[in-house]
Amino acid sequence: MDMIKKEIKSLLPLKARLFFSYFKNFNHNPYVLKALQNQKSSISDFFIFDRDCHRLYFLAENLRALLLGEKLNVKHNFIFFSSQGDFLEKKTFYSDEFFSKINLGKISNSGKYSSFTHFVESDYDLKDFLNKKQTKISLNLYEQNRGYTIFYPDQESSGAAVHGNFGGINKDLIMTAKSSLLSHIYTPIYKFNKDSMYDLVFNNPTSKKISIKILLNNSSKINNIEINSMGTRYFRVKNYTGSISYESKLPICRALIFKNPSPNLSGNFDVFHS
C-alpha cells in the first residue's frame, strides 16, 4: 500500500502535493495555504519592542552580501505597531555590512511593549542571483527576514538578545500566519521562581483577534487576554513558583519572557524564549 501511495504522489504536480499535505496537517500548519502557493514577497518575524529599556539594538543580516561573499548596500526597514495593532512609524537604515547592529531609538506612543517588523530591500534580486548560479527553484521563492533584538535595561548593561516571535508578515503588511480550528496548549520548559518577576509578552501576527488563556499550573489562577491583529499584550507574573501553560488557537504560541523587566538597575534582567 505504501508503494502505491508513493507512486500516486509521484504522478501529482508539486502544487497538488502541497495542497493535499497542507490539509492533512491543517490544524498544525502555521500559514494560510495561499501564502505557501503564491508568496512573492519578503516575510518578517514579529519582534518585541520594550519602551522602558535604556536602549534597543537590532542585529540584522544582509543575506545578499552573505551569498555573494562581499559587501552590498541594502535598506533595512522597520515598521512599528502599537499594543493595539495600529501603525506607529517606519524607520529606515542603509548598510553594506554582512551584519548590522542598528540602534532603534525611541518610539512615541508605543506603550510598555509593542511590536515591529523588519524587511530588507535591494536592487539586487535574490531569485536572479540563484538563477545565475543555476540553483534549481521548484517553488516560489520568498525571503525570510530574521534577526535579533538586543535589550539593554540600563546604561551599564551588557544586553540580552533574543530572536523574534513566530511571524509571517510580508512587506505589504499582509498577515500570512493563521489561527487553527482547534486549541493548542504549550508549556515552556522553564520553572518560574517567586524570587523573580516576569512579563509574558505575546503578539499577534494573524489577521484576526486572538484569545490566549494563561494557566498557572501550581495554582487555580487562570487569566485570559485578547490581542488585536498586529497587537501586543503582556501578563505579569509575581510571587509564583512553578510552570505556566498557554492555551490558544495559534499553532505556535510562545511568549517572550522578560525576567525582572526594565527599568532594572539590579543587573538581574534577562529575556528569552522557552
Asked whether residue 165 is assigned to any structural domain, the reply reads yes
Residue 176 belongs to a domain: no
pLDDT value, residue 138: 52
User: What does the pLDDT read at residue 187?
Assistant: 94
Q: Identify which has the larger pLDDT, 2 or 51.
A: 51
Please state whether beta strands 144-145 and 87-95 pair in parallel, antiparallel, or not at all (unpaired): unpaired
pLDDT attached to residue 179? 81
Handedness of CA 15, 18, 20, 22 (dihedral sign): negative
Residue 11, pLDDT score? 46
pTM of the model: 0.86
**How is residue 255 annotated by DSSP?**
P
- Cα separation of 180 and 176, whole Å? 13
How many residues in the chain?
274
Q: Are residues 111 and 54 in the same domain?
A: yes
* Residue 68 forms part of a structural domain: yes
Average per-residue pLDDT for the chain? 85
Least confident of 3-7, 26-30, 43-47, 162-166: 3-7
* Confidence at residue 5, expressed as pLDDT on a 0 to 100 scale: 46
28 DSSP 8-state letter = G
Strands 165-170 and 232-237, bridge-based pairing: unpaired
* Contact in structure between 233 and 248 (CB atoms under 8 Å): no
The pLDDT value recorded for residue 108 is 83
Read off the CATH number of the domain in which 237 is found: 2.60.40
Strands in the chain per DSSP E: 43-50, 55-61, 74-81, 87-95, 99-103, 113-121, 144-145, 147-152, 160-163, 165-170, 184-186, 198-203, 210-216, 222-227, 232-237, 244-248, 256-259, 270-272
Structural domain harbouring 103? 30-170
Cβ proximity of 78 and 58 under 8 Å = yes
Residue with more model confidence, 225 or 127: 225
Identify whether 177 is part of a domain.
no
What's the pLDDT score for residue 1? 47
Specify burial of residue 121 (Cβ count, 10 A radius: 0-12, 13-18, 19+).
middle
Range with the poorest average pLDDT among 1-10, 160-169, 194-203: 1-10
Task: Mark which of 142, 170, 198 sits at the end of a domain.
Answer: 170
Residues 213 and 250 in one domain: yes
Whether 94 and 106 share a structural domain: yes
Are 131 and 196 part of one and the same domain? no
225 plus 256 within the same structural domain: yes
Q: How far apart are the first and last CA of the chain?
A: 41
